Amino acid sequence: MNNDNKYDQYLSMSLAYLEIGEYSAQNNNNGDYQNAVAYQLFHALELFVKYAILLKTKKSEVLGHDFSILFKKYYELYSEEIYHIEHPFDWFCRKDY
């Protein structure tokens, strides 16, 4: 990661959560592990969206963990279709913004 970008930590952590989830998904398949994998994906997505928002706004931090608020801001900043993120938590985000 580029050390000049103060937001890289968000992206690095997002990728780390994805790698942990991928490893767990490949090596364990019971209900507890499925829940853990879903949590890893959820958290990775939250961190990535925060990274993208911070990168665009140049603010020092994004507060909160409310998915619908984060995605509303993300789609305000990245409205082009190419930036749309499909994920299994769409039910957690309102689509009417």
d(C-alpha 1, C-alpha 5), whole Å? 8
| pTM confidence score | 0.80
Look up residue 85 and give its amino acid.
I
- Convert the pLDDT of each residue in 37-78 to its tens digit: 888 888 999 999 999 999 999 888 777 888 888 999 999 999
**pLDDT the model gives residue 1:** 47
Q: Where are the domains of the chain?
A: 8-92
- Convert the pLDDT of each residue in 20-39 to its tens digit: 888 888 876 677 777 888 88
- CA atoms within a 13 Å half-sphere pointing along the CA-CB vector of 25: 11
